Amino acid sequence: MPQNNAKTRVAGLNDRYRLDAATAVLRHALTDTHAGQLALVSSFGAESVVLLHMVSVIDRTTPVIFLDTELLFAETLVYQQEVSERLGLCDVRIIHADRQDVARTDPEQTLHRHDTDACCDLRKTRPLARALDGFDGWITGRKRYHGGSRASLDFFETEDGTGRIKVNPLAHWSRGDVRTYMEENRLPRHPLVARGYPSIGCMPCTRPVDNPDDDPRAGRWAGSEKTECGIHLVDGKLVKSGEDA
């Protein structure tokens, strides 16, 4: 859809649902014709089970896109299978990078060592763009408390250059809200959380944090300015400031 049309839709959706709770926002997004056809993009990371559970309650046939970069922790792959089965998710789409692109660009799986942006583009950004073809928008687990570019998130926003919308039902949630929801619904936690990983991405670029009160994304690309993988862009550019897709 045209970009200006998407902005009009987003403005109307934010105005209509700005006072609603997260579950209501998600329910409306999945049923409001102005939102269009949506997919949930999930990393099956530290906080992902919250939105996955909400979707399973509202409509478990909602497409769920999981990007398997082939550099993920083994624990994430096992967790993805266990959570999908437990919640009864009916349409989980496991997406990989194009084999020819990988063979040409990163045959030894070493690209992350010298160009993390190029590695993320190869293994996340381009595969996601292909997976979202045909959808009017997608649902993310981003939250304002993650900081940086996420600090002013609205429930609905436009995606630059595509005409799609992005839905952020948990935008206003705190870390305590996430913990409470998981406890009240007895949801399984990613096994790496107990080992000091508050945000979980690819194995080579993720480490545990030193203190539980640290920025939850402090263990992602530690030692560099990079804090986003590239699937979330501002003005068509990779965001350099600011867990889940």
What is the sign of the dihedral through the CA atoms of 111, 98, 233 and 227? negative
**Which backbone phi and psi does 157 adopt, to 5 degrees?**
-150, 165
- Respond yes or no: is residue 205 known to be catalytic: no
Distances 199 to 59, 202, 243 between C-alpha atoms, Å: 26, 10, 5
Pick the catalytic residue: 120, 202, 205, 229? 229
Report the distance separating Cα 120 and Cα 34, nearest Å. 31
Which residues make beta-bridge pairs with 40?
A: 64, 139
The conformation of residue 189, written as its DSSP 8-state character, comes to P
Would you call 20 exposed, middle or buried from its count of C-beta atoms within 10 A (0-12, 13-18, 19+)? middle
| Residue 50: closest CA among 202, 243, 210 | 243
- SS3 category, 114: helix
Report the distance separating Cα 1 and Cα 8, nearest Å. 11
Distances 93 to 39, 90, 127, 129, 230 between C-alpha atoms, Å: 10, 10, 12, 14, 20
C-alpha triplet 49, 65, 68: angle, nearest 5°: 90
Residues identified as active-site: 229
